[in-house]
Structure formats: structure tokens, C-alpha cells
Structure 1
């Protein structure tokens, strides 16, 4: 029997134990690969999470997108497994959200579909499946975005052989670890 909670705890612990220098190097490599992906595929809109805690530091990549004037949207976590998607205009204008998250200030700008979606996760497998935090927020959101290119980001130890699948799981197009 696969214990998702035990794996989540293990991955969170491993992230907390990651050497700060090594984390910074891996974060930079991941941001560089994301930037190359945007340039190669000519994405014109990006949806990304704003990292918290020990998640991959995507702020350099987000700064690049803003400098290139590529529209960036970020989730605002709402009750009942819902996300509101807000346009990010500045990293200096963020608000605190549920579960320690942060999100952009409310904006009238909306998009119904995104070219690229950057997805957080605690574990990923060789088939591009992800293990999230258990709230189901991204499972619902990714199911509503069939045309988007979906990328999970994490550290090398977060890539494992196989994750168990459930009917609602949406595979990613790529995992960068």
C-alpha cells in the first residue's frame, strides 16, 4: 500500500534539509531551464505559483517574465478547492493568502486559458505524474486547462520511480528536477 502522507512528509523533510548553497544552485538551473522553455516555445502567457517555504525559488524566472512583458498569472487559494487567477504586475505588490501562500493584488485582467502552467509538487515520477499537497486545487485547475503546457518543478530527490494514479490525476507535459 502506498502511503501518500508518509511520502509528503519525507519530501518536505528532505527539502528542509537541503543545503542553502545547493538549493540556490538548483533553483538557478530550474529558472534557466524554464526561461529557455519560454523562449523556445514562444509562450505568450504563463500561470505560475508563488513559492513558499522550501519550494523552488521561481522569483528570478518570474522577474524575467515581467521584464519581457509576458503576462503572468498566479493563483489565489480560496476555500473549497478553488483558485482565483490574478494577473501579477509587480513582485512588490503581493498579499498574504490561505495556508501561508501569497498572491497578487486583485486585478481586472483575466484569462481563460494559459500557454504554460508551472505546477508545484512534493514528488514527481518518470511518467510526469505529481504528488501535490493533498488539497486537490491543482487537479481541478489542470483539468480545466487541456490546452496548456504543464510543467512541474522540484529537486532531484523529488523524482521517484512511480506514483499511484487516481482517476482525477492529470499528467504533466514535463517535469524539471
Structure 2
């Protein structure tokens, strides 16, 4: 099982087979665990992916964090440059529009005014295809999030995943960044990444 492409494909196939009702109920359980994290109280500048397809849903969490008074930013993807920028939003319904791969992204008119310096972010919440018991993570193959988190080693890194995406040990490579926590609908896995 050392072929990471095949592993990614297999796990995403399992995730894609979840029903809409399962995605909603499991995402809700993950959201509750996230909101009860002790680490959340001391972090105010949170970067959160916007879910699409069969990912753990984040729109309800986005609204909840804004209601808690957190500064929330979401990614805009620059495909040519293979990078993400963080853009703060306060009204997801008004400020998001389908972007790269139809993923909801911030509207063009707020990209400059709402830009957030990555070094100001103190918690990064990531999607992924495969996660493991060490808080290892495979993304989708583009390296966008690996580059984003490596530029801010001090932010707490949290992966959201369904239990079906967790394996014991993923064949990580040097550029694959470890997370601090992975939250599933059943548990919170804590990693041992040493914050710089």
C-alpha cells in the first residue's frame, strides 16, 4: 500500500460513498468537538477551508466561529502560482462565490481589502484525503496547504476528517506536513509535532 496515489483514490472513494445524511450528521459531530477544543479559546485568527463535494462540511462551523467573534479567513487558490492566500470574511453568504474547481471562494472585490498575513493566523483548519494516527495528512496532490502551513510553523494545525479517512500510518514524504490535531466524528487524535 505504498502507492500514495492509489491510497488517496481508495480513501476518497470511501468518503465519496457516504450518503448526504451521513456527511451532515458526522460533520455536525466534528463541529461540536471542534468548538469544545480547549485550544480554541486562546486562538482568535482562524483560517478555515470551505468544504465542497464529500469533505467534512465547514459552512456551519464558519458561521459559528464568526458568531464567537473570531477573525475567520478562508482560502483563495492561485493555481498558476500553486499557492493559497487567506481572505477574511464576516458574511459567507454574501462574500463567497464558486471559484477554483467550483469550491466557494471569496469574491474578487474583497481580495485586497480583506487579505490576511499568514503569520497573523494562529489556527489553520485543513481538509485532506488521507490522515493517519500520527496526525499525518495527504492532501489532494497539489501541495497548496503543505506550502501554506509550512510558511507559518507556529499556527495550530487541525485536520477535519471522517473516521473512514484514517489509516494507521500513511507513507508520508518529506514535504507532507504533520498536523497537531485530527478531529473525526468519533475522536480527537493528537499528534506530537513540535511547534517551532
Q: TM-score, normalised by structure 1?
A: 0.93
What is the aligned-residue RMSD (CA, Å)?
1.6
CA deviation string 1:90-112 (max 9, x = no partner)? 11121222222221222413233
Q: Which runs of 5+ in 2 are unaligned?
A: 185-196
**2:138 alignment partner in structure 1:** 131
- Contact 1:77/1:101 (8 A) holds in 2: no
Change (3 A) 1:113 1:38: farther
**2:87 alignment partner in structure 1:** 86
Runs of 4+ in 1 over 6 A off after TM superposition: none
Distance between the aligned counterparts of 1:148 and 1:21, measured in 2? 32
**1:100 alignment partner in structure 2:** 102
Kindly tell me the number of residue pairs found equivalent between the two proteins. 177
Q: Secondary structure at the match of 2:36?
A: helix
CA deviation string 1:45-76 (max 9, x = no partner)? 10010001110111111111111221101110
- Contact 2:138/2:176 (8 A) holds in 1: no
Distance between the aligned counterparts of 2:154 and 2:43, measured in 1? 12
Matches within 5 A, 1:2-151: 2-37=2-37, 41-78=41-78, 79-92=80-93, 93-105=95-107, 106-107=110-111, 108-109=113-114, 110-111=116-117, 112-151=119-158
Q: Which runs of 5+ in 1 are unaligned?
A: none
Larger deviation, residues 34-43 vs 72-81: 34-43
- Contact 2:97/2:104 (8 A) holds in 1: yes
Q: Secondary structure at the match of 2:32?
A: helix
